[in-house]
Chain A
Amino acid sequence: MKDYLVLGGSAAGLAAAEAIRRKSKDAKIAIVSDEPGRPYNRPLLSFALGGTTPADQLFARPGQYYTSWGFDCLSGKRAEGLDPQKSHVVLDNGQKVDYDVLLVATGSSPAPLDIPGMNLEGVFYFHTKKDMNDVNACLKDTTQAVVIGGGLVGIRVADALQKRGVQVTVLIASPFPLSQIADEASAVMVADVLRARGVHLVTRASPVEIQGKNGSVAGMVLENGETIPCQLVVVGKGVVPNTRFLEGSGIQIRRGIRTSSQLRTNLPGVFAAGDVVETLDLAKGYPDLHALWPAAVEQGRIAGCNMSGETIAYHGTISCNAIRIGEFHMVSGGISNPPEGNGYQSIVCHSPKRRIYKKIVTKGDRIVGMIFVNDIASAGVIIRLIKQKRRLSSVDADLLAPRFNVGQISLVL
């Protein structure tokens, strides 16, 4: 009987552990997770903060989850090192846990921000349930908040705080919000919607210092000398894979852990899945990081199968995201804002009156990216075309027509 060890009890780790259990009723499966408590759904955190999701709907699994699946849960413990020669993982309390087959699913952490004042009361990242609860608790003394970062998490948190009656200012380093997933035209629409809802946006802004008063946040100082008074600061500058504890183990890491198509690492018996790995990006054509919940689940499930002796290949994914602010919807996928030249072409349909913007990015005879704003019904069809790398006989503006439907691409699907 093999000893299975899973590091990280979130999307990827749990999907893998469940797959292993379904293959083997009596395998010994241990899960190390430094987040104590019942597993929850990370993408719902900002919705819970905004009050859209009731607290009890945050959970991804039923109560008594670990015992009902027969998992041995080392909750509240951190993995601090991996010794592939001795096949064990060292925990923060010094305990050594042996494995025959190991999954690294330690996900990602917020990219750190290093400015004076980060240790003040009222400064938070927004990545865990604890962060959400901390921000929530801080709201009773907050009338003004500053969100650092205009990415998906920053914008969603800003929208949630605004819904809770807080005056929010978002500091965005680039000229537009959502610069990772939007292009200029769609980003302008996002910015307009946010401003109309009362969120204050400062673009090309870089924070230099958080000012404190009696140990708590009192204001945010910008590079231009301006100070924005606030009682709460939320930092959302993107994420970095949690690979630090693997240093010295010999595991291959580029930006994330490198994996084969079966999600094996270069170390024998060691697999990896979720935010911590690089997997093939089907639009870009090379391995990249993808911080996506459904992709983490899919990878976890496949890694779990392969840890149990199957040989299922993971084909890769594309970065794709949906965001909704009030009446505003946007779906973006693949290379949505390509660099000038390099053979990329964009087909755009913009109807400012109807507040609809649709763009498809092509390279050669393939669609590699898309942005749909406020008419998103067929977004999934286009994303499927990108993922399936379908060659299109004629890529034309029909794909952007309001009446476009899956029947029109049947010929090429």
Chain B
Amino acid sequence: MRIFSLRGSMLGRSVLYYKGGTMKTVIVHPEKCIGCKHCMIACSIEHSQTKDLFSAISERPLPQPRIFVDIAHNLASFPNRCRHCSPAPCLEACPSGAIHRDEEVESILIDGSRCINCAMCAMACPFGVIRYWPDWRLPSCNEVALKCDNCVERLKAGSLPACVEACKTGALVYGEVNDIIRERHLVAIRQERIPDEVQLWRSVNAALA
């Protein structure tokens, strides 16, 4: 097995945020992404009120994706999504305790009802995946911080995250970190540099363990 830990070619890879033990997560293979944006649509629909494409487009507030397919430095398309970092910079920065970790599915979640829309999390997120938008689940439909929730409801019900289900090219896969690394055809997993603060907090946690 060969894992490049180049400073150079590093793209969206959740693997590195794995902190030990077994863990299932969405792993992004940008080289397989063809930029069709099916994941963005599936994500928007999954987080809409009606969960149906045709009625979702007329909903207010308009459903928003939590995964973003954009053009990367090599002009290839690049699916950008919350890495559910461990420890998570947004969680550390949130003053109101709206951000927490769901241990069962290893996901960083935002509780909109506690969010005061202060924008501290966007300032802290090293990947730029937090947006602000009215949330229909709240009684007054306030604008709050929104980001990928790993489709926890679906995961807990035993199905795949919506973006993974929608991705037909294998650019987004959900699986056990270890298994995936072991797979032969995924030998060349390029790694993404861990944000400095995440690395520092890990050494603090290791010291305290």
- The reply to whether A329 and B132 contact each other, CB–CB distance below 8 Å, is yes
Contact A383 B123 (CB under 8 A): yes
Chain B CB count within 10 A is highest, among A44, A52, A321, A384, for: A384
Given B130, B193, B207, B208, which contacts A377 in the complex, CB threshold below 8 Å? B130
Determine whether the beta carbon of A294 is less than 8 Å from that of B131.
Answer: no
Q: What CA separation (Å) do A378 and B114 show in the bound complex?
A: 23
Instruction: Kindly state the separation between the CA atoms of A52 and B195 in the bound complex, as whole angstroms.
Output: 32
Residues of B within 8 A of A250 (CB): none
Could you tell me the distance in whole angstroms from the C-beta of B29 to the nearest C-beta in chain A? 13
Q: Are A41 and B128 in contact (CB under 8 A)?
A: no
Does B128 lie within 8 Å of A408, measured CB to CB?
no
A377 to B67, CA, bound (A): 12
CA distance A323 to B116 in the complex (A): 11
Contacts of A22 in B (CB 8 A): 208
Contact across chains for B196 and A405 when beta carbons are under 8 A apart: no
A321 CA / B120 CA spacing, docked (Å):
7
Number of interface residues of A (CB under 8 A): 50
Of A73-81, A185-193, A295-303, the stretch lying at the interface with chain B is A295-303
Q: Which residues of B are found within 8 Å of A113, using beta-carbon distances? A: none
A333 contacts B95, C-beta separation under 8 Å: no
A377 engages B122 (CB within 8 Å): yes
Query: Once the chains bind, are B203 and A410 in contact (CB under 8 Å)?
Result: no
- A52 — which chain B residues lie within 8 A by C-beta? 116-117
Query: Are B96's CB and A44's CB within 8 A?
Result: yes
Question: Given that A294-B124, A410-B72 are known contacts, is A405 also in contact with B78, CB under 8 Å in the complex?
Answer: yes
Residues of chain A within 8 A (CB-CB) of B8 are 411
- Does A410 contact B11, Cβ atoms closer than 8 Å? yes
**Could you say which residues of chain A place their CB within 8 Å of the CB of B7?**
413
Evaluate contact between A387 and B196: CB separation under 8 angstroms. Answer: yes
B197 at the interface (CB under 8 A from A): yes
CB contact between A43 and one of B10, B95, B143, B193 (< 8 Å): that residue:
B95
- Known contacts A44-B95, A384-B195, A408 near B71 by CB under 8 Å: yes
CB of B122 within 8 A of CB of A410, answer: no
B185 at the interface (CB under 8 A from A): no
Once A294-B124, A377-B130, A409-B73 are accepted as A-B contacts, the answer to whether A305 and B207 lie under 8 Å apart by CB is yes
Q: Does B1 contact A (CB under 8 A)?
A: no
- B196 touching A322, Cβ below 8 Å: no
A22 vs B206: C-alpha distance when bound (angstroms): 11
Are B204 and A411 within 8 A (Cβ)? Answer: no
Scan residues 256-310 of chain A and give those whose CB is less than 8 A from a CB of chain B. 293-294, 297-298, 301-302, 305, 310
Question: What CA separation (Å) do A329 and B11 show in the bound complex?
Answer: 28
Q: Bin chain B's interface residue count.
A: 35 or more
**What's the least CB distance linking B193 to chain A, in Å?**
5
Are A323 and B119 CB-contacts (below 8 A) given A57-B114, A294-B92, A407-B11?
yes
Cβ-defined contact, B207 with A379, below 8 A:
no
B169 beta carbon closer than 8 Å to chain A? no
B4 beta carbon closer than 8 Å to chain A: no
Asked if B36 is an interface residue, CB under 8 A from chain A, the answer is no
Say yes or no: A381-B96 contact (C-beta < 8 A), given A406-B80, A410-B72: no
Decide if A244 is an interface residue (CB 8 Å cutoff): no
Name the B residues within 8 Å of A297 (CB-CB): 92
In the assembled complex, the CB of A402 is this many whole angstroms from the nearest CB of chain B, namely: 10
Contact of A405 with B68 in the complex, beta carbons under 8 Å: yes
Interface 1/0 per residue, B71-107 and A, CB below 8 Å: 1110000101000000001001101110000000000
CB-CB nearest in chain B for A384 = B126
Cβ of A53 and Cβ of B123 under 8 Å apart?
A: no
With a cutoff of 8 Å between Cβ atoms, the chain A residues found around residue B41 in the complex are: none
Q: Is B118 an interface residue (CB 8 A)?
A: yes
B179-209 interface (Cβ within 8 A of A): 192-193, 195-197, 200-201, 203-204, 207-208
Q: Name the interface residues of B1-32: CB closer than 8 Å to any CB of A.
A: 7-12, 30
Partner of B204, one of A57, A302, A388: A302
Q: Which residue of B lies closest to A314 (CB)?
A: B200
- A23 contacts partner chain B, Cβ-Cβ < 8 Å: yes
Expressed in whole angstroms, the minimum distance between the Cβ of A318 and any Cβ of chain B is: 11
For residue A353, CB closer than 8 A to chain B, the reply is no
A379 pairs with B9, CB closer than 8 A: no
- B83 nearest in chain A by CB position: A406
For B118, what are the chain A residues with a Cβ–Cβ distance below 8 Å?
43, 47, 322, 324
Max count, chain A CB within 10 A of own CB: residue among B8, B73, B89, B97: B73
Offer 9 A-B interface pairs, CB within 8 angstroms, sorted by A: A19-B208, A44-B95, A47-B118, A310-B207, A322-B118, A322-B122, A330-B119, A405-B71, A406-B80
Apart from A294-B92, A315-B196, 7 more pairs, CB < 8 Å? A298-B200, A298-B201, A310-B207, A333-B123, A377-B131, A379-B123, A383-B126
